[in-house]
Amino acid sequence: MQSLFGIPMNDIMIALVALLAISVGTIAFVALRNRVMFLIGLRNIPRRTAQTVLIIIGLMLSTVIISAAFTTGDTVDHSITKMVYDLTGHIDETVQKGDKLSETMEEVVRRDPLPQSLAADLEQRFKGDTEITGFLPVISEPVAVSNPGSKQSAPLGMLTGLDASRMAAFPDVVDEKGNPVDVAALAKDEVLVNKSMADEIDAKPGDTIDIYYQNQKYTFRVVNIVKDRLLTGSSGYPKLGLATRLDTLQELFNRPGEADYIAVANSGGVRGGVAVSDSVTAKLEDALKGQSYSVDSLKSDGVESAQLAGNVLMTFFMVLGLFSIGAGILLTVMIFVMLAAERKTEMGISRAVGMKRRHLIESFVSEGMGYNMLSALVGVTLGVIVATLIAGAMTLLLGQFVSIESKVTLRSLVMSYSLGVSLTFVTVLFSSWRVSNLNIVRAIRDLPEPDKKPTRRSLFLGIGLVLFGVLLMFAGMSAKQVAPWALGISLVLVGIAIACRYLGAPERPLFTAVGLTILVYWSVAAGERIPGPQMSGGIELFFLSGIMMVAAATFVVMYNAHLLLNLLALGGRRMGRIAPSIKTAVAYPLASKFRTGMTMAMIALVIFALTMMSVMNGNFDRVFLTPEARGGWDIRVQENPSNPIGDLSQALAGSGVDTSKFEAVGKIAIAGGSRSRLRQESDSSKDVKDLPTYRVGGLDQAFLKQNGIQFQSRANGYDSDAAVWSALANDASLAVIDAFATGGSGYSMGPPQFQLRGIDPGQDTFDPIPLDIVDSATGQTTPVKVIGVMAMGASGNFFGLYTSADVVGNSLGGAAYNTYYVRLTPGTDANATAKAIEAALFTRGAQAASLQQEVDDQMALSKGFFYLMQGFMGLGLVVGIAAVGVIAFRTVVERRQQIGMLRAIGFSRGQVALSFLLESSFVTLLGILTGLGLAILLSFFLLTSKSMSDMGLRGFYIPWLEIIPICLVSYLAALVMTFIPSRQAASIPIAEALRYE
């Protein structure tokens, strides 16, 4: 990866290393200047082993998350980049007619041919150019393949024809061991099979295979198995391929002198060629100016996309990880506050005998850095392990598309370590500064701190926060960004509350009111229910809203917990032998509001994030992965453009497929690639090549009459979905379009985007929208009127503009390929039927799939990704659980004498242990319920907002089956963490505990 948040990675690394140097330098300074304080700090580390282990776990989690995010970015970047280099080999650019090659790699289409001689012309033109090493004309045809020997077949593979005389600059045809294979030596009936195809049809050298093209069978002998490359027929889709000589295919397929594209090799080899790609592309475009060719910087674009993908994933993981990092920072603060509480008396004595506050800070910071340096090292290592696990999960999810290879760069390790150490250093410094502020007498006598009364400083702090908040609001307004705006409003509210405290306002009602106001504001603002300036926000809002809502809720809960707890205590009085345990379990959390609040906030933050993800994912899945996505059909049969099917039922006649189970068969004729472009009135002055491309499909009468696709918006005058389809069946000048085209969804379905004007997202009715379908090859224009916008659920499968089949046939040069849809009689097995169809149409290379199976597969993929993200975010739960453990261990030490007293007056071991477990339960449940409640609140407002409604979301659904296990696991883990200290507490010898000071 080259940058993060737009900042070059190397610059970030230098800044982070500088921060690390400052952190380490500070400690070195302390060690040299005040060796005693440094040693006091370090010697505190091994005082309590269990506690030290928990502290290290707590501190390292931030580094684990950072390291895992960076390494995942490296892995994705490396894997996709490697795939790009592996596939393209020495090809850096391609020259073709019409669309760029990379834009049509997702879809099997036949390309407009270009003359083979173009390669020679270009070679002549660039003779002596040191940046270009060769031109290679290539034919690439979709074919069906079978291996009679193994009885295995593949309905779709790409057969490439390579000009053997120009292979010198393209040494990419190599066997599995990397040895070059001589294409020129191939006979007319000989072919090379790529690895994916060989695996698919179980082919080996010497086998005879059949290739089907234009419904003709051609027999070839397999000479060798070669690596998957673009030149051996392997592209993004499909991966299966074969290669032979160009002249062989020209002859067999009757395409004399033709090629589909010209591959261009730059100087610099497989990886070095990218450096001159921009220059070569510019030169080629200049040379081909005025001709109908396009130049595609295939490799550099691919590498750029890989880096972008790595960046996006890293940023995504980083933002998701922010919740855990936030929880980790809270834990660090809490750990140091607790350590200070433990050492309050010794700190008081130290101050009494002459130590300055600075000395205490130095001691604490030294101790903190001791934990920190060690834990960051462990954290970086564990982060790499987590990233490896993520890579493994990605392989399971995406293995069929991209081969994921774990990759760790030194830069990422250095950055993770530096960031982890620096982050903890700052937190430790702040915590040390805070805890060193003590009253010496109270510290020595271990007396509780009195309630702090607001001072003039509170007033200044309040006013400062208000001013800063207003500043942020202005910044947000001018940049049209929600995050600073909303944060500013929250700070203003908090500032006013702090200032009001100074003026005598009562604390509890004041902070409760402010907390509730902030909660309501963030919820309602997320639902766009507050009129105000139009602003935008990114994924950072997810984190920010979580932090703000959890912070506000923590204040509200902690200021009012006594109401709930008193109720509990009242109930507990009637619970027999459990009653005394409940009494103490309830009393302690209330007395330690800081600890309880911090622990609750940590757990709430992570549960909030996990629940939000579950709810959002669940609701989006319900939109896209529902039966509606099938549009009323059960099976889709996609024909191989080289082997048209014609009439599906006829093609299947006598094949053994029971067509009597076909209730309906519809057909969509898809226009060729980017040949179809759309123009609206306001685009009338635009040149054809500047118009956005859009998929255009022609529907046959059967499809129009039998489909079950629903509309989210209909033109005025069409009262029902059926009325729209009926009108379309009778009028070739009408069309319907998918929901993505109306915009507002935030989704994109490939470049470049066409945005339909004349209808707002989510608008139920509209006036018919006129637009022109323009054939970019001929310039022919066909006017249509859009009268329906399909529902979001079906828009994924039926993406595009749909009109009469005649339009595609007459105006767009005919169908590039056809897609057939079959509806089966109820009870018929769609999977089995799809397989039977594919087997029957094997020689035509058709691919059949059960639409429900596709929905299920997508659901599984979506769920897989979701679980991966959830697992990563779940790391934060370790923070919350570690916090519960740290507190439990600490309280056993703190309350040793009290435990002795309780045992003396008759508490049994069980009652003491139960008291600890109930106390942890109470805090954990408070955190879980708060996080859960806030996530449901926010997601409700978000998912029922207008913009979500525009995206097709209807209603609100809570996936309890996913959420409840998360909550249960969190709760049980916290209990397990408390179990050991609670047992310790129960088994403390009474007399010893009473002696403890």
Partner 1 sequence: MTTSMEEEERVAQPTTGEAEDLIVCATDVAKTYDTGRIKVRALRGINLSVKRAEIIAIMGPSGCGKTTLLNCLSGLDTIDSGTILVDGSDINRLSDNQKTDFRARRMGFVFQFYNLLPVLSAIENVELPLLVSGTSARETRKRSYAALEQVHLTEWAHHRPAELSGGQRQRVTVARALVNDPAIVWGDEPTGDLDSTNAQEIMDLICELNADRRQTFVLVTHDAKIAARAHRIVYMVDGLIVDEKVNS
Q: List residues binding partner 1 (CB under 8 A).
A: 447-448, 573-574, 576-577, 579-580, 583-584, 587-588, 590-591, 897-898, 900-909, 911, 989-991, 994-995
Q: How far is the CB of 53 from partner 1 (least distance, A)?
A: 25
Q: How far is the CB of 453 from partner 1 (least distance, A)?
A: 17
- Closer to partner 1 at the Cβ: 28 or 447? 447
Rounded Cα distance, 679 and 692, in Å = 8
Q: At what angle do helices 960-986 and 875-894 cross, to 10 degrees?
A: 20
User: How far apart, in Å, are the Cα atoms of 437 and each of 329, 432, 451, 457, 595?
Assistant: 20, 9, 15, 16, 18
The end-to-end CA distance of the chain, in Å, is 56
- Closer to partner 1 at the Cβ: 567 or 969? 567
Q: How far is the CB of 915 from partner 1 (least distance, A)?
A: 11
Q: How far is the CB of 574 from partner 1 (least distance, A)?
A: 6
- Closer to partner 1 at the Cβ: 448 or 826? 448
User: How far apart, in Å, are the Cα atoms of 383 and each of 72, 77, 317, 450, 616?
Assistant: 9, 17, 12, 43, 27
DSSP SS3 for 128 = coil
- Closer to partner 1 at the Cβ: 782 or 915? 915
Rounded Cα distance, 895 and 410, in Å = 47
Q: How far is the CB of 599 from partner 1 (least distance, A)?
A: 16
Q: How far is the CB of 900 from partner 1 (least distance, A)?
A: 7
Positive or negative, the CA dihedral 884, 890, 894, 897 is positive
DSSP SS3 for 844 = helix
Q: How far is the CB of 891 from partner 1 (least distance, A)?
A: 11
Q: How far is the CB of 586 from partner 1 (least distance, A)?
A: 9
- Closer to partner 1 at the Cβ: 18 or 591? 591
- Closer to partner 1 at the Cβ: 569 or 936? 569
Helices (H), 208-287: 246-252, 269-272, 277-287
Residues with Cβ within 8 Å of 481's Cβ and at least 6 positions away in sequence, in order, are 475, 535, 536, 537
- Closer to partner 1 at the Cβ: 913 or 943? 913
- Closer to partner 1 at the Cβ: 592 or 712? 592
Residues with Cβ within 8 Å of 914's Cβ and at least 6 positions away in sequence, in order, are 578, 581, 585, 982
Contact 970, 607 (CB under 8 A): yes
DSSP SS3 for 821 = strand
Q: How far is the CB of 901 from partner 1 (least distance, A)?
A: 4
Residue 190 main-chain phi, psi, to 5 deg: -115, 150
- Closer to partner 1 at the Cβ: 132 or 985? 985
Q: How far is the CB of 898 from partner 1 (least distance, A)?
A: 6
- Closer to partner 1 at the Cβ: 350 or 584? 584
Rounded Cα distance, 852 and 362, in Å = 65
- Closer to partner 1 at the Cβ: 63 or 592? 592
Rounded Cα distance, 791 and 799, in Å = 11
- Closer to partner 1 at the Cβ: 559 or 608? 559
- Closer to partner 1 at the Cβ: 184 or 575? 575
Query: 993: closest CA among 900, 892, 907?
Result: 900
Geometric angle at alpha carbon 770, from 767 and 772, rounded to 5° = 165
Q: How far is the CB of 597 from partner 1 (least distance, A)?
A: 16
Contact 635, 822 (CB under 8 A): yes
Contact 713, 819 (CB under 8 A): no
- Closer to partner 1 at the Cβ: 319 or 578? 578
- Closer to partner 1 at the Cβ: 670 or 988? 988
Query: 517: closest CA among 502, 495, 499, 537?
Result: 495
Identify the helix (H) or strand (E) that includes residue 772: strand 769-775
Q: How far is the CB of 567 from partner 1 (least distance, A)?
A: 14
- Closer to partner 1 at the Cβ: 270 or 590? 590
Q: How far is the CB of 994 from partner 1 (least distance, A)?
A: 7
Q: How far is the CB of 579 from partner 1 (least distance, A)?
A: 5
Query: 820: closest CA among 623, 624, 627, 652?
Result: 652
Rounded Cα distance, 355 and 407, in Å = 50
- Closer to partner 1 at the Cβ: 785 or 909? 909
Q: What tokens were used for 776? A: 């970019």
Q: What tokens were used for 295? A: 């130049």
Q: How far is the CB of 954 from partner 1 (least distance, A)?
A: 50
Contact 181, 245 (CB under 8 A): no
Identify the helix (H) or strand (E) that includes residue 847: strand 847-850
DSSP assignment letter at 753? P
Q: How far is the CB of 411 from partner 1 (least distance, A)?
A: 51
- Closer to partner 1 at the Cβ: 421 or 585? 585
Q: How far is the CB of 454 from partner 1 (least distance, A)?
A: 21
Geometric angle at alpha carbon 778, from 640 and 774, rounded to 5° = 85
Residue 976 main-chain phi, psi, to 5 deg: -60, -40
Residues with Cβ within 8 Å of 829's Cβ and at least 6 positions away in sequence, in order, are none
Beta bridge partners of 137: 262
Q: What tokens were used for 297? A: 């910087």
Beta bridge partners of 93: 264
Question: How do beta strands 696-699 and 769-775 pair?
Answer: unpaired
Beta bridge partners of 865: none
919 alpha-carbon distance from chain centroid? 37
Q: How far is the CB of 910 from partner 1 (least distance, A)?
A: 8
Amino acid at 265: A
Count of Cβ atoms closer than 10 Å to residue 24 Cβ: 17
Rounded Cα distance, 898 and 422, in Å = 39
Contact 119, 262 (CB under 8 A): yes
